[in-house]
Structure 1
Amino acid sequence: MASGNAAASRLVERVARICVRAQDPLDLLAEVAAAVRAQIPYAAAGWLLTDPDTLLMTGVYAENVSRTQHLQLIECELTEDDVNKFFDLAERGVAAASLSAATDGDLSRSIRWRRIYEPNGYGDEIRGVFRSGGATWGHVCLTRAGCEPWFSTAEVDVVARLCPHIGNGIRACLLLAPPTGRGDTAAPALVVLADDGSVDAVTPQATELLGALDDERLQRTIVLHQVAQRARALADGGHGPAAMARVQGASGNWLVVRGARLASDGDRPGRTALVMEPASRSDIAPLLLQLHDLTPREQEITALLLTGMPTAEIARRVWITTETLRGHVKSIFAKLAVNSRPELAALLSKEPQVHPP
């Protein structure tokens, strides 16, 4: 890494400039990766988008990561008790951490290192969490070759400084980037994945909604494997968020992907069905509230406003005065750019499909 605080500050400033330009989120991650790689060398990386509710990955800009390695890492992340898991870092509010520090210098304490990194010649890693507005919008994993030095504390600190800018950038992209076309279809799309990640069956609408499913880099199809692995984990008695994620499809409009484990069929390998359909406003409503930085209390009040409950009753329900409630409502309306309850209901109601404004 280029030495000195000045070089680190220049990198942070450069990434901040990249992240204030509205563009496709994956293009943003590619540009950020080029800037970071020039000062913090690494052998492989995954720059990831996530659904802020379930934290399942919905897109990836990958560097030197094979499809097989992606699938192995997804399985390990969602099924094993390992160190520095993305879920744990997000829950603890840790912006960035290295594997060498988390294992006290004994990388073999990490399941993913033993199972995936060591056999493929990799050593230390940095993981970072892209947070903005109290929600997690993506992650990053930078990995060095086994023969290279471990990541230094200074390098981890720089990545931690970058993460909030990248979180803000992803969030701005989702807020500001216009859809590139509708591409909606009346019928839901169905994909059946075998447990080895291969496509067992697919309907024509799947390609229309999400794009080509044979992408070796899993750039936009990683969401299918994430939801499928979550469904497998839940079926095996695991715990965690639902097997569901929201993702921008090939047209730029929002889709909902839901997974369900299929019953075993004789000697056939296990399979998971994935249903994709255009998102309704009710599907996107929680995402809209996070995009517009509503506080947890404002989200709670928004849900009560949508029920039609009188103002005085809402105030009693959340244990605040009506004057304080009016202040919250004013803030909610301003953040969502509406002027009344009917406009709020129209924005967040069930129909029709929407793209965040």
Structure 2
Amino acid sequence: MDVPAARARERLAEKVGRACGLVRSPEQLLGQVSEILKPALTHVAGAWMVADPDSRIGSTAHAEGCTDELHLALLEQEARGDDVNLMRDVAEHRVAAASLHAATGGELARSRRWREVYGPHGYGDELRGCFNSGETVWGMYTVVRDADVGPFDAGTIQLMTRIRPHVTAALRTTLAVDGIHDGAVEEPGVVILADDDTLRSSTASANQLLGPLSPSGASPDPGYVVHEVAARARAVADGNARGPATARIKVDGGWLELHAAVLDTQERSVAVIVERAPPERSGTLAMELHGITAREREVAELLLAGMELERVAAELWITVETVRGHAKSVFAKLGVHGRAEFMARLAGRRRVEPSMGRG
């Protein structure tokens, strides 16, 4: 065992843990984690993503050394399937770290994306993983090394496994801080992508909704989640993935939902509908982010639907006091002081008459 190397990794893990203790945006968080880990990862390109807990499609929050050409080529490979360590498989099995070198038995050319993308661009081993709590995936990452650098070793895998709970908890916190969108809901927008992923057209609403996802200097642009959900739609149409092709993206004050489908045309264009997540979907996400249990979520969703305590109890076959206990637990986790404030926050209402008495 290389004791100095192990101690160095331990110091890096502790540094990541301290960084995760400060609330910041997902972009700042993942950017700092990437920077801290550079001495161990020695990567030259990578993407650190916030994931949609349902579809497990990621929107890039921090990227480095990744050109548009490389990003689109990797999206195409992911959509085609039939390769090792596909991101959807890494997320489905909630893998903390998986190297391409290990998956191919040291023969990188056995991977199609290495043969067609990484190899020709002078890259070597790739490391991928996800940040999850239980079965819920909140983030993912992919990093690659130069071809003249050795593969990711067991120590690096252990390091990424060690930091995963810290980064996961920090991601959940940063995503929860913004709260729920409380403004006017814009009309849905539409984006049309050609078969080669070039933009054919988009509506003004789509441009307005997706505009905040395009900070200057980002490469690849976080707006590339549009291309990712389009790639998923093509994979579904070709029988290489299960549908539907949907994704959610965190924006200030709420979430956007994207739905994609291949148009029935010879060109195989893809239509992507972009809209703000409705209040009930944003509310569900907020409850997931705040660690609300499955039973508490059932109670909360019935309360959001306007049911009285007695009816909730009858619906779930539990006592009224049990309902009240679950409700109080939900309120405490969300930092609200009663049903009226709870409804205002999660149902997108500014004023709701309380119906729980003392709450």
Preserved CA contact (<8 Å) 1:60 1:218: no
Preserved CA contact (<8 Å) 1:130 1:138: yes
Q: What residue identity is the alignment partner of 1:204? A: A
Q: What residue identity is the alignment partner of 2:109? A: S
Q: What residue identity is the alignment partner of 1:226? A: E
Q: Bigger CA drift: 158-167 or 148-157?
A: 158-167
How far apart are residue 137 of structure 1 and its match? 1.5
How far apart are residue 56 of structure 1 and its match? 0.9
Aligned to 2:84: 83
Q: What residue identity is the alignment partner of 1:244? A: T
How far apart are residue 41 of structure 1 and its match? 0.8
Q: Aligned partners of 1:316 and 1:81: how far apart in 2? A: 49
How far apart are residue 120 of structure 1 and its match? 1.9
Q: What residue identity is the alignment partner of 1:191? A: V
Q: Would the alpha carbon gap of residues 98 and 165 (structure 1) be closer, same or farther in structure 2, given more than 3 Å must change?
A: same
CA-based RMSD of the aligned residues comes to: 3.2
Q: Aligned partners of 1:245 and 1:230: how far apart in 2? A: 10
How far apart are residue 309 of structure 1 and its match? 5.4
Preserved CA contact (<8 Å) 2:191 2:273: yes
Q: Would the alpha carbon gap of residues 75 and 199 (structure 1) be closer, same or farther in structure 2, given more than 3 Å must change?
A: same
Aligned to 1:58: 59
Q: Bigger CA drift: 277-286 or 120-129?
A: 277-286
How far apart are residue 37 of structure 1 and its match? 0.8
Paired residues, number: 347
How far apart are residue 147 of structure 1 and its match? 2.2
Q: What residue identity is the alignment partner of 1:153? A: A
1:293 to 291, 294, 300: 291
Q: What residue identity is the alignment partner of 1:300? A: E
Aligned to 1:7: 8
Written as runs of structure 1 = structure 2, the 5 A alignment for 1:156-175 is 156-175=157-176
Written as runs of structure 1 = structure 2, the 5 A alignment for 1:1-357 is 3-132=4-133, 135-177=136-178, 186-211=186-211, 212=214, 217-249=219-251, 253-265=254-266, 269-307=267-305, 326-341=324-339, 343-349=341-347
Q: Would the alpha carbon gap of residues 8 and 320 (structure 1) be closer, same or farther in structure 2, given more than 3 Å must change?
A: farther
Preserved CA contact (<8 Å) 2:260 2:272: yes
Q: Aligned partners of 1:105 and 1:285: how far apart in 2? A: 46
Preserved CA contact (<8 Å) 2:262 2:269: yes
CA shift digits 1:83-105 (9 cap, x unpaired) = 22333333323211222222332
Q: Aligned partners of 2:254 and 2:314: how far apart in 1? A: 39
Q: Aligned partners of 2:185 and 2:299: how far apart in 1? A: 34
Q: Aligned partners of 2:142 and 2:227: how far apart in 1? A: 18
Q: Would the alpha carbon gap of residues 330 and 240 (structure 1) be closer, same or farther in structure 2, given more than 3 Å must change?
A: farther
How far apart are residue 151 of structure 1 and its match? 0.8
How far apart are residue 252 of structure 1 and its match? 5.7
Q: Aligned partners of 2:296 and 2:98: how far apart in 1? A: 32
Q: What residue identity is the alignment partner of 2:21? A: V
CA shift digits 1:280-329 (9 cap, x unpaired) = 31231221111101223333343344445565775676566666555433
Q: Would the alpha carbon gap of residues 96 and 316 (structure 1) be closer, same or farther in structure 2, given more than 3 Å must change?
A: farther
Give ranges in structure 2 of 5+ residues lacking alignment: 351-359
Aligned to 1:355: none
Question: TM (normalized to structure 2)?
Answer: 0.83
Percent identity between the aligned chains?
Answer: 38
Q: Aligned partners of 2:304 and 2:6: how far apart in 1? A: 50
Q: Bigger CA drift: 321-330 or 53-62?
A: 321-330
Q: Would the alpha carbon gap of residues 313 and 114 (structure 1) be closer, same or farther in structure 2, given more than 3 Å must change?
A: farther
Preserved CA contact (<8 Å) 1:256 1:283: no
Give ranges in structure 1 of 5+ residues lacking alignment: 353-357
Preserved CA contact (<8 Å) 1:20 1:172: no
Q: Bigger CA drift: 14-23 or 106-115?
A: 106-115
Q: Aligned partners of 1:242 and 1:307: how far apart in 2? A: 26
Aligned to 2:353: none
